[in-house]
């Protein structure tokens, strides 16, 4: 008797599709008994398939309606992930609120989120009483985190004058020195992989007093890091090889608790180590269905996950 094969339909934006659905993934999936099939977004989803699992990263009311209709016709199919759960990550306040609700005990490490406030208008932006202890420098991020180019435009603000160039609604998040290294944690259901990457350089006390520009976009800082690595004023970063990874069990516990609380299977979260304490970790961002190709050996857990889900 022929082995039952599993059909996984994927609906992704063209850029995401080119990045994720590579020949190595398709071939590995086939060897696991899984057929990856592109969903035609110009046709009704309910008329396509059959699919044991729908993998998607599309948004909008029409797409949500199509997913609902598909679920009615295919009650046993798995949808990764539910639009309602994904939408929580489109707001930078609600995405991190879940972190504050987690209860995880670890013998030597703690975690949390940076201090942050949301600013909805210019009047509040310049109202110093609204800041409630938030000090410069701060990171300014758009409130909406929907994966668009606009949602990725962030800046490091050193002094009050830098606020002039910001357009609410925005989130102002305290900048915490973290050795110029960020830990990116990729989650594929039960699989958790933590990797380290270069991040914003630490800011010295001299720079906090305004020796730099009042505001610098992340792209400007990145260019300084790439072009002036020998200039200690702008780039004081530990070598990645010298940076100790967070305890795997600690990171895995956080990932699994986040997964349960958010009801998501495909996501990543960014973690920094607070340089003031050493054993204090801060979660600064959570993203749905990230660029898994940046995760070493990304092909391996995806087919296993999809087959298990289906």
pLDDT tens digits, 91-147: 999 999 999 889 888 889 999 999 999 999 998 888 877 776 788 899 999 999 988
Residue 100 and residue 34 share a domain? no
Residue 185 and residue 113 share a domain? yes
Instruction: Evaluate if residue 243 carries a pLDDT over 70.
Output: yes
Residues in the chain: 310
- Known binder of ligand: residue 151? no
Residue 176 and residue 117 share a domain? yes
Domain presence at residue 110: yes
Residue 106 and residue 59 share a domain? no
Residue 142 and residue 94 share a domain? yes
- Known binder of ligand: residue 185? no
Instruction: Evaluate if residue 66 carries a pLDDT over 90.
Output: yes
- Known binder of ligand: residue 153? no
Domain presence at residue 246: yes
- Known binder of ligand: residue 210? no
- Known binder of ligand: residue 152? yes
- Work out the angle at residue 176's Cα, subtended by the Cα atoms of residues 172 and 179, and round it to the nearest 5 degrees: 140
Domain presence at residue 310: no
pLDDT of 49-63, one tens digit each?
899 999 999 999 999
Task: Give how many domains the chain has, as a whole number.
Answer: 2
For the domain that residue 270 is a member of, what is the CATH number?
3.30.470.20
- Known binder of ligand: residue 141? yes
pLDDT for 190: 87
Pick the more confident residue, 278 or 205: 278
- Known binder of ligand: residue 267? no
Among 80, 108, 133, give the residue marking a domain's end: 80
Residue 165 — pLDDT band, cuts 50, 70, 90?
confident
- Known binder of ligand: residue 184? yes
Share of the chain above pLDDT 90, in %: 63
Domain presence at residue 128: yes
pLDDT for 224: 53
pLDDT for 273: 97
Residue 99 and residue 72 share a domain? no
Domain presence at residue 303: no
- Known binder of ligand: residue 173? yes
- Known binder of ligand: residue 64? no
Could you tell me the residue range of the domain that residue 121 belongs to? Answer: 88-288
pLDDT for 130: 77
Nearest to 196 by CA among 237, 168, 161: 237
Domain presence at residue 297: no
Q: Is the dihedral of CA 105, 304, 71, 81 positive or negative?
A: positive
Across the range 265-269, mean pLDDT stands at: 96
pLDDT for 107: 82
Q: Which of 118-132, 176-190, 201-215, 261-275 has the lowest mean pLDDT?
A: 201-215
Residue 230 — pLDDT band, cuts 50, 70, 90?
very low
Residue 244 and residue 102 share a domain? yes
Residue 99 and residue 55 share a domain? no
- Known binder of ligand: residue 178? yes
- Known binder of ligand: residue 106? no
- Known binder of ligand: residue 179? yes
- Known binder of ligand: residue 167? no
Residue 308 — pLDDT band, cuts 50, 70, 90?
very low
- Known binder of ligand: residue 147? no
For the domain that residue 32 is a member of, what is the CATH number?
3.40.50.11370
pLDDT for 207: 61
Among 36, 58, 80, give the residue marking a domain's end: 80
- Known binder of ligand: residue 111? no
Residue 240 and residue 208 share a domain? yes
- Known binder of ligand: residue 84? no
What's the chain's average pLDDT?
87
Instruction: Evaluate if residue 234 carries a pLDDT over 50.
Output: no
- Known binder of ligand: residue 69? no
Share of the chain above pLDDT 70, in %: 87
Instruction: Evaluate if residue 184 carries a pLDDT over 90.
Output: yes
pLDDT for 127: 83
Domain presence at residue 133: yes
Residue 59 and residue 12 share a domain? yes
- Known binder of ligand: residue 263? no
Residue 254 and residue 149 share a domain? yes
Instruction: Evaluate if residue 223 carries a pLDDT over 80.
Output: no
Q: pTM of the full predicted structure?
A: 0.89
- Known binder of ligand: residue 208? no
Residue 162 — pLDDT band, cuts 50, 70, 90?
confident
Q: Which of 25-34, 195-204, 213-222, 240-249 has the lowest mean pLDDT?
A: 213-222
- Known binder of ligand: residue 65? no
Residue 227 and residue 97 share a domain? yes
pLDDT for 125: 86
Across the range 68-75, mean pLDDT stands at: 94
């Amino acid at each position: 008797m022929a082995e039952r094969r599993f059909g996984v339909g994927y609906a992704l934006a063209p850029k995401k599709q080119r990045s994720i659905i590579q020949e190595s993934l398709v071939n590995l999936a086939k060897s696991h008994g899984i057929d990856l099939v592109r969903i035609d977004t110009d046709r009704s989803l309910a008329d396509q398939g059959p699919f044991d699992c729908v993998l998607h990263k599309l948004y909008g009311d029409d797409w949500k309606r199509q997913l609902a209709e598909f679920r009615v016709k295919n009650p046993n199919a798995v949808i990764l992930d539910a639009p309602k759960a994904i939408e929580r990550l489109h707001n930078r306040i609600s995405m991190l609120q879940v972190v504050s609700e987690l209860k995880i005990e670890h013998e030597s490490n703690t975690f949390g989120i940076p201090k942050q406030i949301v600013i909805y208008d210019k009047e509040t932006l310049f109202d110093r009483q609204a800041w409630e202890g938030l000090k410069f420098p701060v990171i300014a991020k758009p409130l909406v985190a929907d994966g668009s180019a606009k949602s990725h435009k962030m800046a490091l603000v050193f002094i009050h004058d830098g606020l002039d160039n910001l357009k609410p609604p925005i989130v102002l998040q305290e900048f915490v020195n973290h050795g110029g290294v960020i830990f990116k944690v990729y989650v594929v259901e039960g699989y958790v992989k933590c990797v380290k990457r270069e991040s914003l350089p630490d800011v010295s006390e001299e720079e906090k007093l305004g020796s730099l520009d009042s505001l610098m976009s992340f792209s400007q800082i990145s260019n300084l890091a790439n072009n002036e690595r020998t200039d200690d004023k702008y780039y004081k970063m530990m070598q990645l090889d010298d940076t100790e990874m967070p305890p795997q069990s600690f990171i895995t516990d956080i990932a699994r608790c986040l997964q349960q609380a958010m009801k998501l299977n495909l996501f990543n979260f960014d973690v920094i180590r607070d340089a003031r304490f050493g054993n204090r970790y801060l979660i600064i961002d959570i993203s749905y269905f990230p660029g898994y190709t940046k995760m070493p050996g990304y092909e391996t857990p995806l087919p296993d996950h999809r087959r298990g889900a289906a």
